[in-house]
Chains A and B, each alone.
Chain A
Amino acid sequence: MNTYLTQLKREFWENRGGFVWAPSAVAIAFFSIFLLGLLVAQTHIADAQIMGVKISQLRINVPDTVLPEILNGFQIFHSVIALIMQMVLGIVLFFYFIASLFDERKDRSVLFWKSMPVSDRDTVLSKIAAATLVAPLIALAVTIVFNLLLVLLLGAFLSLNGVNAWKLLLWQAAPFKVWLTLLVGIPVNAIWALPSIGWLMLVSSWARGKPFLWAVLVPIVCGVMLTVFDAMSSLSIPDSWYWREVFWRGLASVSPWSFDVAGGFRFGIDINHNTQAFELISPTSLLAVLTSAKTWVGAVAGAAMIAGAVHLRRTRELTD
């Protein structure tokens, strides 16, 4: 147990930049934009608006029909920022896994790690745990702090202008639901990401150089070959199936929430009138993923590739 915690700490020390500073940078950037906006609003206070409602109007009374709109707007805003942070986390994790078993061979520090009584299996598993548990928990903590700071900033701005909206902001606008969903989403995302984790770690443990190129080019070449030889249509599977279910899932499912309500791969934020951000980060889509066969087939493939990475870490030799 102690060994395991130490291994997680070691990953954290090495990846502090990606795990803590990357999401923090996003938070700081958005916070600055918001602060700037409120400062501008303060100078034009007469017609300043919060989500389309004039402050002067808020002070008097808010019509019942508008209040839910304002709160809804808040939820969307918080969800979008949470999603952007999750995407940043996805990029961090992608590069983390590509480097995970390659960098230690490149800088020869594997000779130090292997002089310690830690098995190759435990090393690989601790790297996965650091990326699928520690990093998302840190990102969630940063999200929560950022949300609270934003609520405080807005509350302070409103009080400054004679509106006491603390109760409203803290109890109804704070995105508790988003936080809870993000938390529950951590293990679900971890299962969903397994094929991608497995592929990236396998390449990372195998490549003698340029792991990024190998990780990306091999699937591209495979896809092109399938198209050229028309292998898929003879099985009456459309070519797009490979790109979506194998290529994107295998490469980019490390990105949290890269699934849709049908349990398929979906990359990026797709918000329109039908799907809003807080619906994408939702219990419905989590449930869809857990009940999708695609998830579990991918998880099995991922586990096999992780086993391959463990084997390669044990047997791969440094070239002197």
Chain B
Amino acid sequence: MSKVIEARGLRKRYGKTEAVKGIDLSIEAGKIVGLIGPNGAGKTSVLKAMLGLTDFEGELSILGRNPHTERHALMQDVCFIADVAVLPRWIRVREAIDYVEGVHPKFSRAKCEAFLARTKLKPAMRVREMSKGMIVQLHLALVMAIDAKLLVLDEPTLGLDVLYRKDFYQTLLNDYFDHEKTIIVTTHQVEEIEHILTDVLFIKDGLISLSATMEELGTRFSEVMVPADKRETALALKPLDERQVFGKSILLFDGVERSQLEALGEVRTPGLADIFVATMKGTYR
């Protein structure tokens, strides 16, 4: 399978601060990749570079093209929702559909209208009359009706209520994704996307701190609830993180054999959010 995204030594500087400090990446088709990192870690800079919205240093190729010099050609095969509610406020639903149909050769009006039929949006409605959730519904309907190879979503559900958020990811997974498409998504609501991801990339201080498939993550990381008397033995195995719950310790291990841990207590596969918190420790200090 050919590479959708290939980056080598990707850097981005804003004045004196270096937001991205040399990232190597390689993403294949058919993946849903979560790009996860704390605020200011460089996620948005990486995505902007991929979408041709910013200049960068190093090598970066999206579907074999340089995004900064070939943005308009690249956008035939790449779609993005770079922020919530960026649709122009004056546009009407029918104008937005006419526009995308007019400029995008891979747009299907029928598909878009089918998606919109499930919402409360009407053709004559203007974006300025819509709620934030409705704007995202319109944007998603426009984007999903485009037969693109790569879809990039940067905080697509920021500020939406839980109903819209659930619906957003469900629609994306059921009606859009297939093995030839690739989706990259960033969000702070890690719990909501972890079940749809195939791969994760953790980004910290402008560097990739973890790159793994979800299965690898399940075998690598384990969480054990250890009673107080076994805590010392457990600490000797160098856990990443320790939490105290009702007098017991919950320890998170990276790369320790399950059989070894089962002697200490009940072993679980930790959630993505717990792994994230453990690996990002000390970021803001």
Do A9 and B98 contact each other (CB < 8 Å), given the known contacts A14-B88, A112-B88, A114-B71? Answer: yes
Query: How many whole Å from A274's CB to the nearest CB in chain B?
Result: 46
CA distance A117 to B51 in the complex (A): 12
Q: Which residues of B contact A234 (CB under 8 A)?
A: none
Is the pair A116, B86 in contact by a Cβ cutoff of 8 Å? Answer: no
Is the pair A119, B103 in contact by a Cβ cutoff of 8 Å? Answer: no
Is the pair B44, A112 in contact by a Cβ cutoff of 8 Å? Answer: no
Quick check: is A3 within 8 A (CB to CB) of the other chain?
yes
- The interface-forming segment of A101-109, A275-283, A297-305 is A101-109
CA distance A5 to B98 in the complex (A): 11
Choose among B73, B89, B90 the residue with the greatest number of A CB atoms under 10 Å from its CB.
B90
Q: Which residues of A contact B139 (CB under 8 A)?
A: 112
Q: Which residues of B contact A109 (CB under 8 A)?
A: 86-89
Interface size class of B (residues with CB under 8 A): 35 or more
Is the pair A117, B76 in contact by a Cβ cutoff of 8 Å? Answer: yes
Query: How many whole Å from B49's CB to the nearest CB in chain A?
Result: 11
Q: Which residues of A contact B86 (CB under 8 A)?
A: 107-112
Is the pair A116, B98 in contact by a Cβ cutoff of 8 Å? Answer: no
Within 8 A of B (CB), among A72-125: 104, 107-112, 114-120, 122
CA distance A227 to B44 in the complex (A): 48
CA distance A106 to B146 in the complex (A): 27
Do A112 and B87 contact each other (CB < 8 Å), given the known contacts A6-B98, A317-B54? Answer: yes
CA distance A9 to B95 in the complex (A): 9
Interface size class of A (residues with CB under 8 A): 20 to 34
Is the pair B44, A9 in contact by a Cβ cutoff of 8 Å? Answer: no
Question: Closest B-chain residue to A116, C-beta based?
Answer: B103
Partner of B103, one of A3, A13, A104, A120: A3
Is the pair B72, A115 in contact by a Cβ cutoff of 8 Å? Answer: no
Is the pair B103, A115 in contact by a Cβ cutoff of 8 Å? Answer: no
Quick check: is B278 within 8 A (CB to CB) of the other chain?
no
Do A117 and B72 contact each other (CB < 8 Å), given the known contacts A6-B99, A6-B102, A317-B54? Answer: yes
Within 8 A of A (CB), among B64-90: 71-76, 79-83, 86-90
Query: How many whole Å from A177's CB to the nearest CB in chain B?
Result: 38
A-B contact pairs, 28 of them (CB 8 A): A6-B102, A6-B103, A7-B102, A7-B103, A9-B98, A10-B99, A13-B91, A13-B95, A14-B90, A107-B88, A109-B86, A109-B88, A111-B53, A112-B87, A112-B88, A112-B139, A114-B52, A114-B75, A115-B81, A116-B75, A116-B100, A117-B72, A117-B103, A120-B71, A315-B55, A317-B48, A317-B54, A318-B53
A interface residues (Cβ-Cβ under 8 A, vs B): 2-3, 5-7, 9-10, 13-14, 104, 107-112, 114-120, 122, 314-315, 317-318, 320
B interface residues (Cβ-Cβ under 8 A, vs A): 44, 48, 51-55, 71-76, 79-83, 86-92, 95, 98-105, 139, 143
